[in-house]
Amino acid sequence: MANPNTNTCGKRFFRWGPRSDRRERAKDWGSSDSGRLICQEWSDEVKAVYDAERRVREIFDAPTKTQGSGIFLRSQADRLRPEFSVLADQWRNNTRHLSLVSKKITDPSYLRIIGMGKPALPLLLEVLRDKPSHWFAALRAVANFDPVNPEANPSEARKAWLDWGKSEGYID
């Protein structure tokens, strides 16, 4: 007589079966050829229904899962790149000699970049990497997040943002 605890069908049934009283029946099913067949068919049927529902759920969940992802944002950012480059250059030219970040970030070009929202995030990280400057306020605004230690100086803040951007897939 087959041991129900080592029977494949019995294990599958325990995995898929929703009610504890069916465990007893599984032992009987696993002890004979016809019982194993019935058990196998039932198990396959339950699994097929579950898998079908899971596939539907994945299709409907996909947009919300990918919206915040690096690949999705980077594709959106590419469309903003030309305008972003012009605004970033304007901001640098208009504010490069100001001594206060609080004044620099009120420049209309900077505010327009913040207005681009989260799709500007990969572009902000790129410009911070390539031409270090005080982009931290814009990054905080569009990411709604701040990975920077309060004790950090600008170079350390830059590193914290770039490390975070890489870990999230926003830049290489």
- Token representation of residue 51: 């898998």
Residues 6+ apart with CB under 8 A from 129: 158, 162, 171
Residues numbered 7-26 forming contacts with other proteins, rule: CB under 8 A: none
Residue with tokens 């970049």: 113
- Rounded distance, CA 108 to CA 87, Å? 9
The CB-of-80 to other proteins minimum distance in angstroms stands at 24
Q: Is 91 in the site for other proteins (CB under 8 A)?
A: no
What's CA 152's distance to the chain center, in Å? 27
- Rounded distance, CA 106 to CA 131, Å? 20
Do residues 171 and 162 lie in contact, with contact meaning Cβ atoms separated by under 8 Å? yes
Residues numbered 126-145 forming contacts with other proteins, rule: CB under 8 A: 132-134, 136-137, 140
Q: Which stretch binds other proteins (CB under 8 A): 37-45, 60-68, 114-122, 152-160?
A: 152-160
Q: Which is nearer to other proteins, 27 or 140 (CB)?
A: 140
Sole binder of other proteins in the list 2, 38, 46, 98 (CB under 8 A): 98
Q: Which residues bind other proteins (CB under 8 A)?
A: 95-102, 104, 132-134, 136-137, 140, 146, 148, 150, 152-158
